[in-house]
Structure 1
Amino acid sequence: MFRPKLLLSSLAALALGACAPQDPQAQTAAALAKQVILPTYSRWVEADQQLAASALAFCSGKEDLDKARADFLAAQKAWAELQPLMIGPLAEGNRAWQVLFWPDKKNLVGRQVEQLIKAQPQVDAAALAKSSVVVQGLSAYEYILFDSNLDMADGAQKARYCPLLQAIGERQKILAEEILARWNAKDGMLEQLSTFPNTRYADSHEAISELLRVQVTALDTLKKKLGTPLGRQTKGLPQPMQAEAWRSHSSLSNLAASLDSAENLWRGVDGPGIRSLLGSDQKDLAERIDAAYADAEKQLTSLQKPLTDLLADEAGRTQVNVFYDSLDKVQRLHSGDLARALGVQLGFNANDGD
């Protein structure tokens, strides 16, 4: 029997549901997962796929050393972009160490690469996965291609180091593809950041809280990556070889990639970012964070020389210190005012106690 009142009631309920305001934290988490985080992971996979192909091409003589180095720098940049987005499977099971080993306070990378090549001259990706994390990733790859004591243009040295170079390329490709597959899997991180509640998050606020914690930890890590070589922990005595990627002179470009990625999480890309969760009464805080990012990027852009060169004289160190202070301001705004405004309890981060 046709019941017009029932139909009208159903249509009214649907209309109310369509007009009901959605949870802004859920919208933001989903937008960040789809528009910022997942695309960055996808670029990382593509860069590592190219790295694996590059190692094969270089070692077979189809690619020169300059191209091999450029492909490495692209993979390293893609990894740097992931630092403020280290959430989910990549942050678990010691996986990040398998991609890049830092800090290397005792030249473990160089020593362990030489030990491995001597013990397993024909090492492959499967054997490498069972080896120390120190030799599995980009730090070892950089050592082989950029260390001043090695000459990969020399045929004998190329033959000696190429099995490990190829093994690292394949190992990184497999690892990156595995992480991306887990992101896209049923009940993977993409779904967990988009639909609430789920097995990881009881509600959207838990997801936003973790994203902010990851952001704060990443910004703190950037400070350490700059402050350690600058000598902030050694009474002002510079430690240039404690910089990440000092052999390839790409320490500052890595920092720039990470900082850009952190700002993408703050602003959003083609969708709301964490900034959107601040109300009109918190406009001043949003503008202060905007200004802090702009100043940090301005100071970084002004550093025209490699970090190791800047640390060699007082004028250069002064410039780096100014950039450090601007980075510190960004981090403190996130860990202090922003966390309070969003009702996020940060607790300890991965760098506490270092």
Structure 2
Amino acid sequence: MIFERQLKTAAAVALLACGGAVAVQPAPAAAADYAALNAAIVDDYVLPRYAAFAETTAVLESELRRACSDDVLQAEEAAAAYNDAMDAWMAVQHLRFGPAELFLRNERIEFWPDKRGVVGRHLAQMLAEQNPKALEPQTFASGSVAVQGFPALERLMFDSEASTWETPFGCAVSVAIGRNLKDIAAGLLADWQGGEIHYAQVVRSATEGNERYFDAKEASLDFAKSLRGAILLVQDYKLGRPLGEQPESARDTRAESWRSARSLRNVLVNLKAAQALYEVGGDDSFSAQVRQHPQGAELDRVIRAALERLIAAVEAEPASLVAALKAPDGWDRLDAIRTEARQLLELMGGPLSEVLELPMGFNSYDGD
């Protein structure tokens, strides 16, 4: 079987460190309980994380208003709230389906990667025009997505050129971004836990089939793709883009959140979110579903070990990718993390996908 060959190969690489080949047992696999998996993820993973995002963005807006009390943004006063809100966003960034797909919410929260410098241009234009009507809630929310979220706010708070924007209008833009993030986060939480959409109920009722899902298995596929998407974000975007193919091609300004010196802090939160998504739910978790398969115990072990090694490796680095690259062997260490993440992706797209009977090979990040 393809699965058996892939798992044997994966077990041989340094990332997995399994210490030998995987025994092939031709026993039948127990059917996955997708309904129980979905309920556990919704209740113990999705809802608490969106609640945290709503709470931290509300605090951020309040702190930005306080930091702008004299019409000049005192960024250091709102920095802690900014980092808390970013942590909460990193914990749900990979959940790109359902309510997150509506109203361009993902792009409005974080327009990144910004390959053409759109954020800087649109923000500079807004600051130059100083049109107060552009900051009215509905107008701002329907305007350029590039200035509505964290990347624009990061520039206002942490950019070395921010002193040129320290004007009353620059302060007003910061507050408008904070309010916008709070409103988007509140909308995400509301759509998941109630209202006309009540997406938590959509996922739970997938067992009987509904307008969104044919069955519970299809709903589980969205979560499986989100799991893989979290690792793909790390490997391809957050490490791949700034590192390049060799040290000479590294471009640290391609990293996410490099101005606020938290590029690798983002990666760490992403990896911990992936680990939690894999393990949440106890006996109903992805991990438990995998162990029901004849070769699942070993596959589960190597996936858990891979996630633990990745997290430990990033924890050993500074929060700033820029700082990490300045170390004599910094590029090599980060490239090793990228390689391990790529190998984990291969496991997820192959053996894990086959064991769970969830074809997670394509994700919304693929091909971006």
Which TM bucket (shorter chain)?
0.7 to 0.9
Does structure 2 retain, via aligned residues, the 8 Å contact 1:339–1:346? yes
Kindly report the root-mean-square deviation, in angstroms, between the aligned alpha carbons of the 2 structures. 2.3
User: TM (normalized to structure 2)?
Assistant: 0.83
Does structure 1 retain, via aligned residues, the 8 Å contact 2:293–2:355? no
Q: 1:241 aligns with which of 253, 263, 272?
A: 253
The answer to whether residue 242 in structure 2 is matched with residue 229 in structure 1 is yes
Count matched residues: 330
Tell me, in whole angstroms, the C-alpha distance in 2 between the residues paired with 1:174 and 1:194. Answer: 26
Tell me, in whole angstroms, the C-alpha distance in 1 between the residues paired with 2:226 and 2:252. Answer: 27
The answer to whether residue 177 in structure 2 is matched with residue 168 in structure 1 is yes
Tell me, in whole angstroms, the C-alpha distance in 1 between the residues paired with 2:138 and 2:336. Answer: 45
Does structure 2 retain, via aligned residues, the 8 Å contact 1:124–1:164? no
Counterpart of 1:312 in structure 2 is 326
CA drift of 1:290 comes to 0.6
Pair 1:345–1:236, CA change in 2 (3 A)? farther
Amino acid across the alignment from 1:174: D
Amino acid across the alignment from 2:147: V
Structure 1 gaps, min length 5 = 1-20
Identity of aligned residues (%): 28
Structure 2 gaps, min length 5 = 1-29
Tell me, in whole angstroms, the C-alpha distance in 1 between the residues paired with 2:281 and 2:154. Answer: 31
User: TM (normalized to structure 1)?
Assistant: 0.87
Counterpart of 2:107 in structure 1 is 97
Between 1:275-284 and 1:59-68, the stretch displaced more is 59-68
Amino acid across the alignment from 1:323: I
Pair 1:349–1:280, CA change in 2 (3 A)? closer
Amino acid across the alignment from 1:176: A
Counterpart of 2:147 in structure 1 is 135
Deviations 1:228-257 (A, max 9, x none): 01114x885011111000100111111111
Deviations 1:18-64 (A, max 9, x none): xxx99722111101100011100100000111111111111114995
SS state of the match for residue 311, structure 1? helix
Q: 1:181 aligns with which of 187, 190, 193?
A: 190
CA drift of 1:117 comes to 1.6
Tell me, in whole angstroms, the C-alpha distance in 2 between the residues paired with 1:305 and 1:78. Answer: 16
SS state of the match for residue 82, structure 1? coil
SS state of the match for residue 318, structure 2? coil
Amino acid across the alignment from 1:226: L
Tell me, in whole angstroms, the C-alpha distance in 1 between the residues paired with 2:32 and 2:299. Answer: 22
Tell me, in whole angstroms, the C-alpha distance in 2 between the residues paired with 1:314 and 1:180. Answer: 44
Between 1:238-247 and 1:269-278, the stretch displaced more is 269-278
Tell me, in whole angstroms, the C-alpha distance in 1 between the residues paired with 2:171 and 2:346. Answer: 44
Tell me which structure has the larger Cα radius of gyration: 1
Q: 1:83 aligns with which of 89, 93, 106?
A: 93
Does structure 1 retain, via aligned residues, the 8 Å contact 2:265–2:319? no
Amino acid across the alignment from 1:262: A
Tell me, in whole angstroms, the C-alpha distance in 1 between the residues paired with 2:231 and 2:324. Answer: 22
Amino acid across the alignment from 1:124: E
Tell me, in whole angstroms, the C-alpha distance in 1 between the residues paired with 2:63 and 2:331. Answer: 36
Counterpart of 2:125 in structure 1 is 115
Q: 1:276 aligns with which of 283, 288, 292?
A: 288
Between 1:55-64 and 1:178-187, the stretch displaced more is 55-64
Counterpart of 1:60 in structure 2 is 69
Tell me, in whole angstroms, the C-alpha distance in 2 between the residues paired with 1:140 and 1:120. Answer: 16
Tell me, in whole angstroms, the C-alpha distance in 1 between the residues paired with 2:285 and 2:104. Answer: 28
Amino acid across the alignment from 1:172: L
Does structure 1 retain, via aligned residues, the 8 Å contact 2:141–2:180? yes
Between 1:337-346 and 1:326-335, the stretch displaced more is 326-335
Amino acid across the alignment from 2:46: I
Counterpart of 1:11 in structure 2 is none
Does structure 2 retain, via aligned residues, the 8 Å contact 1:137–1:172? yes
Counterpart of 2:225 in structure 1 is 213
Does structure 2 retain, via aligned residues, the 8 Å contact 1:184–1:190? yes
Tell me, in whole angstroms, the C-alpha distance in 2 between the residues paired with 1:296 and 1:347. Answer: 21
SS state of the match for residue 326, structure 2? coil
